[in-house]
Amino acid sequence: MGQITLQGVQKSFGPVHIIKGADLDIADGSFVVFVGPSGCGKTTLLRLIAGLEDVTGGAILIDGRNVVDVPPAKRGLSMVFQSYALYPHMSVRGNIAFGLKMAGVARDEINRKVEAAAATLNLTPYLDRKPRELSGGQRQRVAIGRAIVREPKAFLFDEPLSNLDAALRVQMRLEVTRLQKQLGTTAIYVTHDQVEAMTMADKIVVLNGGKIEQYGSPLELYEKPANLFVAGFIGSPKMNFVTGELAKQQGATTIGVRPEHLKVERNGQGGWHGTVSVAEHLGSDTFLYVDAGPQGMLTARYIGELDLHPGDKVSLIPDPARIHRFDDSGKSIRA
């Protein structure tokens, strides 16, 4: 079991409020991603759950028990750090076994569990190596091995993939997701990369300025963003925002349209007219950055190749069903 509940969790460092009251329900076995810009408090929130920081207020419940006064090791969680934080003087085996050794597990059982974990992570040939003799991806796997071997109630990942190169990151992303599904253990994963968030999560927590902006499944966040911040943060390229007269016509202060929901037409009628300023041809997609006069710079995404070049005149027609409307305070207006 690994059900985690946050009730009004607050954290301040001196006069600075980092977490301004977070309420959250994380179901057993789910993969939850904390995402947000740097400084939004996502790592702090994770460290509060881990017990590496003390809460200023509120309660953290693991399987119904308030753990705010329980030391980290007794919370039954394990953590994977951004820097891997491997013990440099111990072999891979020693690193993975350390937690079990501290828990006083019998030697035979430690060996059995370490070898099982190593097999799961393809680390068997490296068991007797030191961390400095491993590549970045292997070190990352050792850090994960150290976490899974203790069979925790939940895994806490603190931006574990940010030190890896792009290709390896995609591969490890898959491996982590697959492993989590296979073990069925609750996971909380912190990242600033919204692609990681969208691809890995069952549910995403979008944080901004120490507050939870929205909590929902990736598609909920994509289709029904609660406010301007979430709308702009989730989705790549970013959602286009238009204010002024056009928004007023829709009964909103700001309207938003995702680049993929703008239909591109050459010299077409209707919609928003503009001039292509940059065209990115990826083969599979074409990204157009269009100077649309009163509407400002707009981004449009076309699936497939579109033979357009800077200077070409285009019109962009928003899909009426996919226009997001926001009020004065930036909250989403639902029809």
Partner 1 sequence: MARMVTTRNKVISTAAAWLVGFLIFFPILWMVLASFKTELEAFAIPPSFLFFHWTTENYVTVQERSDYFHHALNSIIIAGGSTLIAMLIAIPAAWSMAFSPTKRTKDVLLWMLSTKMMPPVGVLVPIYLIYRSFGLLDTRAGLIFILCLGNLPIVIWMLFTYFKEIPKDILEAARMDGATIGRELIYVLTPMAVPGLASTLLLNLILAWNEAFWTLNLSTLEAAPLTVFIASYSSPEGLFWAKLSAASTLAIAPILVLGWFSQRQLVRGLTFGAVK
Q: Which of 27, 73, 195, 219 binds partner 1 (CB under 8 A)?
A: 73
Is residue 79 a contact point for partner 1 (CB under 8 A)? Answer: yes
Q: Which of 50, 114, 204, 300 binds partner 1 (CB under 8 A)?
A: 50
Residue type, 265: E
Cis peptide preceding 218, ω within 30 of 0: no
Alpha carbons 202 and 59: distance in angstroms, whole number:
24
Q: Which of 21, 29, 39, 72 binds partner 1 (CB under 8 A)?
A: 72
| Minimum gap (Å) between residue 72 Cβ and partner 1 | 5
Is residue 27 a contact point for partner 1 (CB under 8 A)? Answer: no
End-to-end CA distance of the chain: 39
Strands (E), the chain: 4-13, 16-26, 31-35, 57-62, 65-66, 77-80, 154-158, 186-191, 203-208, 211-216, 240-243, 254-257, 262-266, 272-281, 285-291, 297-303, 313-318, 324-326
Is residue 81 a contact point for partner 1 (CB under 8 A)? Answer: yes
Neighbour tally for 23: CB within 10 Å: 12
DSSP 254-293: EEEE-GGGEEEEET-SSSEEEEEEEEEE-SSEEEEEEE-G
Show the binding pattern over residues 149-178: x = contacts partner 1 (CB under 8 A), - = does not: -x----------------------------
| Minimum gap (Å) between residue 105 Cβ and partner 1 | 11
Q: CB under 8 A: which stretch of 71-79, 254-262, 268-276, 325-333 binds partner 1?
A: 71-79
| Minimum gap (Å) between residue 52 Cβ and partner 1 | 5
Is residue 14 a contact point for partner 1 (CB under 8 A)? Answer: no
Q: Which residues contact 88 (CB under 8 A, 6 or more apart)?
A: 130, 131, 132
Is residue 219 a contact point for partner 1 (CB under 8 A)? Answer: no
Q: Which of 89, 112, 248, 313 binds partner 1 (CB under 8 A)?
A: 89
Q: CB under 8 A: which stretch of 61-69, 80-88, 114-122, 189-197 binds partner 1?
A: 80-88
Beta bridge partner(s), residue 7: 59
Are 84 and 145 spatial neighbours (Cβ–Cβ below 8 Å)? no
Find, among 52, 49, 142, the residue nearest to 88 by Cα: 142
Q: Which of 88, 270, 304, 311 binds partner 1 (CB under 8 A)?
A: 88
| Minimum gap (Å) between residue 24 Cβ and partner 1 | 21
> Which CB atom, from 105 or from 323, has the smaller least distance to partner 1?
105
Query: Which residues contribute to the site for partner 1 (CB under 8 A)?
Result: 50, 52, 71-74, 77-79, 81-83, 85-89, 98-99, 102-103, 146, 150
